[in-house]
Structure 1
Amino acid sequence: MTMQPIHATAVARHTPAGWRGALIQGPSGVGKSDLALRLIGQGWRLIADDWTHLWASSGALYAAAPTAITGKIEVRGLGIVAAPLWPMTRIVLAVACTHEPVERLPEAAAWTWDGVMIPQLRLDPRPASAGQVVATALAAL
């Protein structure tokens, strides 16, 4: 098992299958941390903000925070603050954040890391409903 850091934020929630997470990706300033903060407000837990250790094991993806940033999230306009943490989770959804228009009824998409493919949701993180869209997508898996 080799953990590699990836520029992404990871959050998780408890599901009937146990803790499952979403990997929130996109360029700097797109709103990854803001989306994570809204999900945390809905009861999700932070895995890692901005940089996430990601690895594949037994056909699944897992994420954890680098030690230096464990339990911390950037809140734009406020700074770095503590957040409710979950130390590690299985990642089952990739969220590709964009400010470009998103199709209303898109074709299914996937994202692959180290040979493991997971569903990918393309999303503009700015609307108030973005957190609920992520929660709905994760619940459907």
Structure 2
Amino acid sequence: MTAHPPIHATAVAVRRRGVWKAVLILGRSGAGKSDLGLRLIDKGWRLVSDDYTRVWASGGALYAAAPETIAGRIEARGVGIVTAPTWPLARVVLAVEAEEAPSERLPEPAARMIAGVAVPLLTLDLKQASAVAKVAVALQTL
């Protein structure tokens, strides 16, 4: 196991084919990381960590968990800090990064190196209504 300092990201997980898979949502403050996380949770996903996420590499895979001080809580901007259904840790299979410019229609596959692990990368406008569906579709390809 290779430790890595917590990163500025929200992580949510969903169970697919008997395995919990996490998506790491990256972006600047106010980009919509927690908002997208809340919308995925509303669709049955579980919160792993909001805002800061502990990540580590093990066996060539990347894993995520919440720092103890914030476990089980997520920011609902304009409402406050709320509790959410959680999953304590999960393997990260996709990174979603907030974009500032319009999306490419047919982007080339991309990856982000996190803790020495190449993670498939999807770049999205996190605040678009379709972001939840796009994350779900991207996850199906992995």
- Indicate the TM-score class for this superposition, using the shorter chain for normalisation: over 0.9
Aligned to 2:55: 54
Q: Which amino acid aligns with 2:57?
A: A
| Superposed CA offset, 1:5-52 (max 9, x none) | 000000000011500010000000000000000000000000000000
How many angstroms apart in 2 are the aligned matches of 1:76 and 1:109?
30
Identity percentage of aligned residues: 58
Work out the number of aligned pairs and report it.
Answer: 141
Aligned to 2:140: 139
How many angstroms apart in 2 are the aligned matches of 1:4 and 1:17?
29
Gaps of 5+ in 2: none
What RMSD, in angstroms, separates the aligned Cα atoms of the two structures?
Answer: 0.9
Q: Which amino acid aligns with 1:7?
A: H
Q: Which amino acid aligns with 1:30?
A: A
Runs of 4+ in 1 over 6 A off after TM superposition: none
**Cα deviation, residue 115, structure 1:** 2.1
Change (3 A) 1:87 1:26: same
**Cα deviation, residue 4, structure 1:** 2.1
Give TM-score scaled by structure 1 length: 0.97
Gaps of 5+ in 1: none
Q: Is 1:108 aligned to 2:109, yes or no?
A: yes
Give TM-score scaled by structure 2 length: 0.96
Aligned to 1:81: 82
